Chain A
């Protein structure tokens, strides 16, 4: 069974604060992808990152960084120096890749609503 847990339903920060969004996953597949998506108030989900289960290197893209730890089954997302435009719902997702898995479908967490106040 595949499961993604985002325990934080809502987070509020003030601009310029750093914020970390947690994501914990469960899968029996040895190969899988992990994702983060952003859903701004306009509603359209926007792809942020995909990480292969064999690649535990952390990734940084501007103010965004991702910390993937297989030992704790976590794929956390940090926004440094947050801005009002970062306000959105953020979803973590998993897709299994082992033989016999339903390839291509994503399993989503319930999302974390991030509000950044000016």
Chain B
């Protein structure tokens, strides 16, 4: 079964800590995305990547960075966690443009981060 796997389902961190959220997909997808989900706000795009070592800012990139050193792995980094970054983080991937089924996102199960 094809999958997007997020390394941690639940994390609790302290203010100021550096936080890594890891995401791995096994579908050979070109595109990968990090969304943040908050009650009443839906899904907001943080960063996305079309290819290895490429990254694009989404709508709310402040306070976050990403890394994509390998095609299958897309990491979200909180350099100095703050309480307002307490949220559910969702990773997703999709095929590149021109491929059959492009644009359909496959999501991971999410990582619920609490910053104290």
Q: Is A108 an interface residue (CB 8 A)?
A: yes
Determine, out of B12-20, B35-43, B65-73, B78-86, the stretch whose residues face the partner at the interface. Answer: B35-43
Count B-side interface residues using an 8 Å CB cutoff.
27
Contact check, B103 vs A47: say whether CB atoms are below 8 A apart.
Answer: no
Interface SS of chain A: loop
Q: Which residues of A contact B56 (CB under 8 A)?
A: 102
A106 touches B103 (CB 8 A): yes
Rounded to whole angstroms, the CA-CA distance of A45 and B110 in the bound complex is 9
- What are the residues of chain B within 8 A of A50 when measuring CB–CB? 103-104
A105 located at the interface, meaning its Cβ lies under 8 Å from any Cβ of chain B in the complex: yes
Known: A43-B110, A45-B90. Is A104-B97 also a contact (CB below 8 A)?
yes
Q: Given A104-B31, A104-B48, A104-B103, A42 and B109 touching (CB < 8 A)?
A: yes
A105/B108 contact (C-beta < 8 A), A33-B103, A43-B88, A45-B90 known: no
Q: How far is the CA of A18 from the CA of B110 in the complex (A)?
A: 30
Contacts of B35 in A (CB 8 A): 108
Whether a CB of chain A sits under 8 angstroms from the CB of B106 is yes
Query: What band does the interface of chain A fall in when counting residues whose beta carbon is under 8 Å from B?
Result: 20 to 34
Q: Could you tell me if A104 and B94 are in contact, using CB atoms closer than 8 angstroms?
A: yes
Contacts of B90 in A (CB 8 A): 45
- Interface membership of B77, Cβ < 8 A: no
Is A81's CB within 8 Å of the partner chain B?
Answer: no
A105 and B88 contact, CB distance less than 8 A: no
Contact indicator A105/B97 (Cβ below 8 Å)? no
Q: Does B74 contact A (CB under 8 A)?
A: no
- Bound-complex Cα distance A105 to B93 (A): 10
Contact between B41 and A45, CB atoms less than 8 A apart: no
Q: Which residues of B contact A (CB under 8 A)?
A: 31, 33, 35, 40-43, 45, 48, 50, 56, 58, 88, 90, 92, 94, 96-97, 102-110
Give 4 new A-B contacts, CB below 8 A, not counting A105-B33, A108-B42: A95-B103, A105-B45, A108-B43, A110-B41
